[in-house]
Amino acid sequence: MRDRAFAPSRMLIYLVVLAIAAAWLAPLAVVVLNSLRSNEEIAQASMIGWPKQWAWSNYAVAWSGFCVAETCAGLRPYMLNSALVTIPATILSTLLGAIAGYAVSLWRFRGDNWIYGIVTLGLFLPQQMRLLPWTIVLRDIGLINTLTGLVLIHTIQGLSFTTLFCRNYYVAIPHELISAARIDGAGFFRIFWRIILPLSAPILIVTVIWQFTHIWNEFLYGVTFTTGQQQPVTAALIALSAAIADIPQHGVQSAAVIIAALPTLLIYLLGGRYFVRGLTAGAVK
Amino acid sequence: MPITTTRRRLLAGSAAALALPAFARAQGAVKPRLTAISQWSAGSDGAAITALGKKFEEKGGVWQHSPVPGFTTEMMNKLRAQIMAGDPPACSQLKGPEIAAWSKIAPTVDLDAVVAAAGYEKVIAPDLAKLHKPGGKWIALPLQIYSTNMLFLSKRAMDKAKADKIPVTWAEFNDLAEKMKAGGVPYPIANGGTRPDDGQKFEAALAGISPTAYRAALMNLDKKALEGPETKAAFVQVRKIADWMDPNVGAQHFSTNLKRFVDGDMGMMIMGGWAQGVLRNAGFKFEDFIIAPGPSDNSKPVFLLNADAFIFWQRKEPDLQAGQTLMAQLVMDPAIQTMYSQITGSIPVRTDVDLSGEGWSDGQRRTAAALKDAIASNQAVLSLAHNMAQENGMTAAIIDVITEYVKNKTIKPEQAVTRLAEAVEGAR
């Protein structure tokens, strides 16, 4: 065994894999290093370099210091806004998607494939195309410039993905399970709650990761349908980078990017090992 | 909790008593209020708009600014959403021909009376005035100006070239670049790789060769001028510039090169006046570089105008209307323009502001003088690369041709001229 692990062909594979990993991680390394260099140091030297002095203050400024026009509170309030949108929208879209996926895969009814098709059609509509329709909807129900409006948008738009994921997972569940439960007198929701949901952990984790990441990183709707201090964290990040008459604040920007990426990173670390497993479930029958 | 309630009442009562004089003053009039959206949020842009808001509040107004971070597209999306929701901001940042285009989708405020009262039209560049009164009436007001074709010279590169004369014409510019190259400056031109960068080189070239041809070709999209000899000469000049710059710019911001520029590894930079603030904020000294107007073959300064402005959207609420009037007065006020430009590094729109005093840099003084001279000789034109000459779609079509020409050196100048004319035709 030992010999095989060090066989030339193995070593070559490791080398290639290491090289790819290094190339993949290089941008992250630059961001991490720059998050510890002062803006001046970066401007006076170059974008890539080792910190001369550890500028930990970048993190303090990014978290609670820098100004977005009149408001000088750093990322903190915007992180909260993003959480207030992302968490409910993730939970709602995942739950509704699970129910929808369960309905179209295990409760066949007339036109179920059509409904499934129409729901997943949402995947192919570009974001910009949906911007105006959403404007009209939010205006008519009075939710423009509210975080609730954003939760609604992301819940509904998330349905395309979550329904797709859950449906593909549930089609692999033996139909006999459902039939047996029905003979025992269980209805639609009882079967979902007692039988399907306990089987769903891998796919629910996948959809949660997927939805959380997408909603957290979303910018277009976040900046169009909120105002002032309700803006999401992506808007605050862009605000940091869009100065005209200033040297780009690479140091603070890098620190801010890392802080803003932490929640999604955390979700990946917690649920990552389910990710590939859940995605491929039901792919090969 | 009876005690707290009493205390609270007492407090409220005394606050009301204190506020009484203010109420008395405001009797008969509403408190002006302004809802504004802009993309100014970070750095000195954010600081300047915040300072303007403070002035608005000092005059008794209520300032409600919502920054829309990002670039113009994001702000336009936001504006469109607000207009469709029936709640347009009382004023919003907008510039160039987009003012005319957007004024068609929602009613704007007629500012003629307040502009006339301030005598504003007499003190600003005529081409600029035209942009802000698309239907013959003032609906928007310019706030600050940048020139997009200032010439920045690296002192160390000048030393290497053993040169001390600031080039005035393109021929002198080319001479200096050759000297720099011979003197050991690897890249006589510093350039970035963002969307406007190459366009800025081209507009500087064409306007410097002939402001008349620039007006005809890029502002009026005249087919003959687009295919004319001046346009071809501009492409020839841009190819020279392209050969002198570091091709490895990717999509980098021009500021990535500042260190090499100051060190004399790059010699000259054709950039907007804002680069001065960037150099200063990066910790470089005024002694490290020289600022001059961009090359002009007739030796009189050519000024490529980039002006930020506010457009005013019709509102029925009396407090918002009062706020709009107050805002318009403030934007035209020389003191406010001074304050604003001193924060951002731009120059005032008004040509009658005295820049000799403290708080102005030499670069700003030179820029303002260049603007005055350029207006006098009818050589102040609107920048293409910064969306002042054409609407976004047309600008993008033209810049695509220029950027491809800069990167692909097998394209000949005469081919570029044809491509340019075709791109304009296609985008019309």
Q: Quick: pLDDT tens for B135-157.
A: 899 999 999 999 999 999 999 99
Which residue in the set A68, A136, A248 is minimally distant from B69, CB to CB? A68
Single-letter residue type at A215: I
pLDDT at A276: 66
* A144 closest CB neighbour out of B39, B43, B81: B81
Query: Closest to B67 (Cβ–Cβ): which among A139, A239, A241?
Result: A239
- The arithmetic mean of pLDDT across residues B7-11, rounded, is 47
Average pLDDT for residues B326-339, to the nearest whole number? 95
Longest CA–CA span in chain A (Å) reads 76
Q: Percent of chain B at pLDDT above 90? A: 72
Q: What is the pTM of this model?
A: 0.83
Q: Tokens standing for A171?
A: 């089609």
DSSP annotation string for B227-275: TSHHHHHHHHHHHHHHHHB-STTTT--GGGGHHHHHHTSEEEEEE-THH
A-proximal residues of B, 274-303, CB under 8 Å: 274, 277-278, 281-284
Q: Which of A274-283, B156-165, B175-184, B240-249 shows the lowest mean pLDDT across its residues?
A: A274-283
Shortest alpha-carbon distance between residue B44 and chain A (Å): 7
Give the end-to-end CA distance of chain A in Å, rounded to a whole number: 34
Among chain A residues, the shortest Cα distance to B85 is held by: A139
Whether B254 and B269 have beta carbons less than 8 Å apart is answered as yes
Say how many C-beta atoms besides its own lie within 10 A of residue B82's C-beta. Answer: 24
* B contacts of A78 (beta carbons < 8 Å): none
> For residue range A212-252, what is the model confidence (pLDDT) as tens digits?
999 999 999 999 999 878 899 999 888 887 666 677 788 99
pLDDT score at A3 = 59
CB–CB contact A135 B66 (8 Å) = no
CB atoms within 10 A of CB A274: 18
Residue B425 has pLDDT above 70, yes or no: yes
Are A144 and B44 an interchain contact pair (Cβ–Cβ within 8 Å)? no
Q: Above 0.90 for ipTM, yes or no? A: no
Please give the Cα distance from A281 to A277 (Å, whole number).
Answer: 6
Average pLDDT, chain B: 89
Instruction: Give the DSSP per-residue string, B34-103.
Output: EEEEES--SHHHHHHHHHHHHHHHHTT-EEEEEE--S-HHHHHHHHHHHHHTT---SEEE--TTHHHHHT
Q: For residue B117, how many other CB atoms are within 10 A of its CB?
A: 12
Cβ distance B344 to A245 less than 8 Å, yes or no, reads yes
d(C-alpha B177, C-alpha B268), whole Å: 8
Chain A with chain B: Cβ pairs closer than 8 A? 134
pLDDT of residue B284: 87
**pLDDT(A158) > 90:** yes
To the nearest whole Å, the CA of A5 is away from the closest chain B CA by 41
What is the distance between the terminal CA atoms of chain B, rounded to a whole angstrom? 72
CA distance A161 to B261: 49
Q: Is the pLDDT of residue B18 over 60?
A: no
CA dist A207 to A264, A275, B273, Å? Answer: 13, 9, 49
Task: Kindly report the nearest CA distance between residue B40 and chain A, in angstroms.
Answer: 7
CB contact under 8 A, A68 and B346: no
**How many Cα atoms occupy the beta-carbon half-sphere of A26 within 13 Å?**
9
Q: What is the mean pLDDT of residues A199-223?
A: 92
Dist CA A253 CA A131 (whole Å): 28
Q: Give strand pairing partners of B63.
A: B34
Q: Do A272 and A208 contact (CB within 8 A), yes or no? A: no
User: pLDDT class for A29, splitting at 50, 70, 90?
Assistant: very high
Closest CA in chain A for residue B285? A44
Please report residues of A whose CB lies closer than 8 A to that of B65: 69-70, 228
